[in-house]
Structures are given as structure tokens and as C-alpha cells.
Amino acid sequence: MRANHYFRSIKDGMWKSCLLLCLLLIIATHSHASNEANAFNSLKERKVVALMRHAIAPGNGDPSEFTLGDCKTQRNLSSEGIQQAQKIGAQMKSYGITNADVFSSQWCRCIDTATELGIGPAQALPMLNSFYQDRSSSELQTNQLNHWIKDRLDESKPRNQAAILVTHQVNITALTGVYPTSGEIVFIALNNDQLEVVTTVVIPH
């Protein structure tokens, strides 16, 4: 009898643990969905700017023969990266962001990511270019980007479109302190003349 009671207690404990785990997963999923919806709605309303790392491009840095404008000499999106960018674009469209001002680093993997989003032509913005190989321009580009985003979010200069900036990990980290994964989006607001990271969103690929 004691053994039966013991095993019944274990089963009851396991059942309760599973139930608790399921509830926590439901809460976490709901919280993630709510966070994502709020972020994209704020982007649609032009209350934030979206700073996005390019989609999956296997490797690290760039080849020694890297040449700006020649994609054959660069690290590029994989087929998975292309699909990831398209999926992110589809998710943006599901929140009503069907047309936006899309700015990009001049690196091919960023231009291709921006293009595959399918919500606006990729507009080259040199201050978004990677300084991974040469950190001498890090401070200058980061300051330029800081001022650019502040101007973009200035309520006295209303914009008609949401702004999405596709760039590199080093650029995003230098500006925000966030170390994004491929395709991760950092949402930035202007608070008392200072840029503020509101949240980050990763669309599963």
C-alpha cells in the first residue's frame, strides 16, 4: 500500500509539473506574440525605427578579396538566408507594413536582405556599412547613425513611411549594446532626445 501511494504521489507530481510547464509555455508564447505585435504596430505608426541584422550568411567577416559592389567577392546570403528574409517580410506585411522606407548597408548580403523583405526598394545608406574589418570608422559611423535615427524619429518632422535599416552585427552592437542574431530586429525609440532600445524580435525561420 505504501509503495502504491508512493508511486501515485510521483505520478501526481509529474502530472502537476507537466501542467505547470504547459501553462508557462502558453504564457511565454502569448507574451512573445504580444511583444512582437506591439513592436510592429509601433513601427507601422512610426514611433520606432527597426534596426535589423542581415539574414543568414554563413561565415565570418569578409573574404580578403572583398570588393564593394562585386557580390562574388563577398560573403552572401545562403538559400536559408533568402528564405529567412522573405519570411520576415511576410510577417511585417501581416502587421500591415506593406510599404516602408528600407535602407541598407552597401554590402550585398544586406542589400539582398532588404530586397527580399519585399516591402520597398533597398536604398543604400553608407553609414550602415560594416566596420568589422576596419574599426577606425566605428565612432564616426555610430555617431552618424545616432543622429540619423534621432532625426527620423523627430515628431516635428513627420514621415509617411516606417523606416527599416538593414545592417551588420557590429554596427548594431556599437549603437545599442545588443548582439543580434541573423535577421534579428532591434526596435529603437527616441526618449528625451536619447535613443532607447524598446525590444528585439526574432522571427523563427
Mean pLDDT along residues 87-110: 97
**Which pLDDT tens digit goes with each residue over 5-64?**
544 555 555 655 555 554 444 444 444 568 999 999 999 999 999 999 999 999 988 999
150 to 29, 81, 121, 204: CA distances (angstroms): 32, 30, 22, 30
For the cut 90, the answer to whether the pLDDT of residue 162 exceeds it is yes
Q: Note the pLDDT of residue 24.
A: 46
pLDDT band at residue 205, thresholds of 50, 70 and 90? Answer: confident
CA angle 46, 122, 154 (to 5 degrees): 25
Cβ burial of 61 (10 Å; 0-12, 13-18, 19+) is exposed
pLDDT band at residue 83, thresholds of 50, 70 and 90? Answer: very high
Q: Note the pLDDT of residue 46.
A: 96
Q: Note the pLDDT of residue 140.
A: 97
Please tell me what DSSP assigns to residue 72: G
Distance between CA 200 and CA 185 in Å, rounded? 5
Helix residue ranges per DSSP H, 45-95? 79-94
Residue 52, C-beta contacts closer than 8 angstroms, at least 6 positions apart:
88, 113, 164, 165, 166, 167, 180, 183, 184, 185, 186
Q: Note the pLDDT of residue 28.
A: 41
For the cut 70, the answer to whether the pLDDT of residue 163 exceeds it is yes
CATH superfamily of 2-201: Phosphoglycerate mutase-like (3.40.50.1240)
Q: What value does the mean pLDDT of the chain take?
A: 89
